[in-house]
Chains A and B, each alone.
Chain A
């Protein structure tokens, strides 16, 4: 299948939840509603013609001025070399929450923890929602644009 056909199939399956799509660009993407992310990715993974069974990356972007946080999933296929798709979901910046896809991809576990660590996105249903890299008692999420650098950590001055 071409990426156009994949997106058309997806739109016919989820007519209300695909907000935007661009299958032609260098990095083909679709934009989806965050509440249905699990079902959409499950369909993309388990459909034998699409077979996006490989999770490359989960990351996030802080759109400070638009007051929202974007979570990006990069999926690709092992069987079909040309199949690759990025899935964007926009969340409210004050309380970013999105369903976890740990049940679909084992690799999602650490990626979601890292996104939580650096951007503060809560992944609902994640089995172990702790910080990944920073200490457990760290304050703030460093990849946010309005992040304030700490003055000290456990008595050791930052500057």
Chain B
């Protein structure tokens, strides 16, 4: 009897060295320092904010800055946000980098609708925010992409520097951490309040 008991205890010690020194009667020490107590909301928010996958598309010169941000010099992957996906079905974040024309705006809206929840939009540069240099005389330029889709983060600039885009990503991560888990993102957005005409 004593032999078999020793074998079992030896195995247990090999697989989990913490159990030997920790007192199993105290909950916090039962598994050593391998347990973190948190809420489900915080945990999922942390997971979502730490692996933002942007959609891989660019519309104008802002896309060049976006590429520079994703490249090694600025390394957007430090924030877990540089796994650019070529399909809207796999992406969490739409970076609208460049001038949005009416013709493109309808495509952007369709791409946004193809993205799975939770989904976020970052409007990068003056053109995507309000038409930028084309706001007065661009006959085919949409005066802000928020007329088609809800925008979470605005990053001004013409084009913004990579640091600014990175700050936008950080702000988006803060935003994701604030949102509640079981609430659909599109319910939070009120199109009537934020823009004249959006998803009807």
Contacts and interface: CB of A to CB of B under 8 A. Distances in A.
Given A147-B139, A159-B143, A134 B103 contact: yes
Interface residues of B, number: 12
Interface in B141-200: 142-143, 147-148, 196-197
Contacts of A159: 143
A133 B197 CA distance: 25
B104 to A, nearest CB: 10
A156 B139 contact: no
A155 interface: yes
B102 interface: yes
B102 A149 contact: no
Name A's interface SS.
loop
Contacts, number: 28
Interface string A131-159: 00111001000100001011001111111
A156 B140 contact: no
A149 B102 CA distance: 13
Contacts of B197: 155-157
B186 to A, nearest CB: 19
Given A134-B103, A155-B197, A156-B105, A150 B147 contact: no
Interface in B117-157: 139-140, 142-143, 147-148
B12 interface: no
Contacts of B103: 133-135
A157 B103 CA distance: 14
Interface of A: 133-135, 138, 142, 147, 149-150, 153-159
Nearest to B135: A159
Nearest to B198: A156
Nearest to B142: A156
A150 B139 contact: yes
Contacts of B148: 156
A154 B102 CA distance: 9
Cβ-closest 3 pairs across A and B: A153-B102, A135-B103, A149-B139
Contact of A135 (B102, B139, B142, B196): B102
Nearest to A155: B197
Given A142-B139, A156-B102, A156-B148, 12 more contacts: A133-B103, A134-B140, A135-B103, A150-B139, A153-B102, A155-B197, A156-B142, A156-B197, A157-B196, A157-B197, A158-B143, A159-B143
B113 interface: no
Taking each of A147, A150, A154, A158, which has the highest tally of chain B beta carbons within 10 Å of its own beta carbon? A158
Contacts of A157: 143, 147, 196-197
10 contacts: A142-B140, A149-B139, A153-B102, A154-B102, A156-B105, A156-B197, A157-B143, A157-B197, A158-B139, A158-B143
Interface in B99-118: 102-103, 105-106
A153 to B, nearest CB: 4
Nearest to A156: B147
